[in-house]
Structure 1
Amino acid sequence: MFDFDATLPLMAVQFLILTVILNALLYKPLGQALDNRDEYIRTNLQQAKERLQQATELAQQYEQELASTRRQAQALIEEARVEAQKIATAEIAEAQQAVQAELLKIQAEIDQQKQATLQALEGQVASLSEQLLAKLMA
């Protein structure tokens, strides 16, 4: 069946030489290329994880800053509202005082005019009484 002549060892040597050549020229570079590709993928995955972590941290930081800014804005709005309320209250009080002063001034003028009118009437009544008395006596 098998013929063990000189071709079998020659074929074995050729097979070994072919294996060594293929290993040196094909399998090692191919394995190295696959290793390089694997390393490249691992590096990119690691970088992506790091960037995702940085983005998450940055988003949390921005959210904290936004919340802080919102609190500050609310505090400023509340402070402005309180200040506006104080100003409005002060202006209302000032207007009420001005109205009260004007009312007192008008009341004083009315009283003065009333007194002047009463004095004028008393003078006229006295004058008319004297004229009436003079006419009655005459």
Structure 2
Amino acid sequence: MTWLLLAETSVPEGGLFDLDATLPLMAVQVVVLTFLLNALFFRPVGKVVEDRESLIVTSRADAKQKLAQVERLEADLAEQLKGARQAVQSIIADAEKEVDVLYRQALAQAEAEANRVKEESRRGIEAESESARAQLKDKVSQLSATIIDRLLAA
């Protein structure tokens, strides 16, 4: 109970809040400290954050632009590759046709040469056959004449 009396007597007359010059002084100190902290710490840190954010935004925009450019180039290269494949297939088809034509020409030429050699051989055989027949005919005539001469002589 004595403590309660002492607590009541030690409180000055203004009550719980005393509205003397300390409250405005504290308010001024808080405002000055806020301006100082803002000027010395928060503004430079905010500037660094904004600079980084703008760097990130520009880097992202550049990356998107480069990605779009890469995709365009990739599409162009795919189209060129498709065209090149079609050109190669066309060249291969033309080469196959040319090889087929050359093969047929070579085959026809070989057949013509074989027919020519066969015909020459046939003619040669016929000529030799005719020559052999003529010789045999002469010999037969000679033998016939000899036989007839011997028969008539006997």
The share of aligned pairs that are identical, in percent, is: 31
Matched residues, number: 138
Partner of 2:108 in structure 1? 93
Query: How big is each residue's C-alpha offset from its partner over 1:63-118, in whole Å with a ceiling of 9 and x where there is no partner?
Result: 01101111111111111111111111101010011011011101101110110111
Q: How does 1:57-136 map to 2 (within 5 A)?
A: 57-136=72-151
Normalising by structure 1, we get a TM-score of: 0.96
Whether 2:54 is the aligned partner of 1:39: answer yes
Q: Find the aligned partners of 1:29 and 1:116 in 2 and give their Cα distance.
A: 125
Normalising by structure 2, we get a TM-score of: 0.87
Partner of 1:10 in structure 2? 25
Q: Find the aligned partners of 1:86 and 1:130 in 2 and give their Cα distance.
A: 64
Q: Find the aligned partners of 2:139 and 2:89 in 1 and give their Cα distance.
A: 73
Structure 2: 5+ residue stretches without partners: 1-15
Q: How does 1:23-34 map to 2 (within 5 A)?
A: 23-34=38-49
Q: Find the aligned partners of 2:144 and 2:53 in 1 and give their Cα distance.
A: 133
Q: Find the aligned partners of 1:116 and 1:134 in 2 and give their Cα distance.
A: 26
What SS does the aligned partner of 1:83 have? Answer: helix
Cα offset, 1:37, TM superposition = 1.4
Structure 1: 5+ residue stretches without partners: none
Q: Please identify the structure whose Cα radius of gyration is greater.
A: 2
Q: Find the aligned partners of 2:72 and 2:26 in 1 and give their Cα distance.
A: 65
Give the partner amino acid of 1:86: V
Whether 2:61 is the aligned partner of 1:56: answer no
Partner of 2:11 in structure 1? none
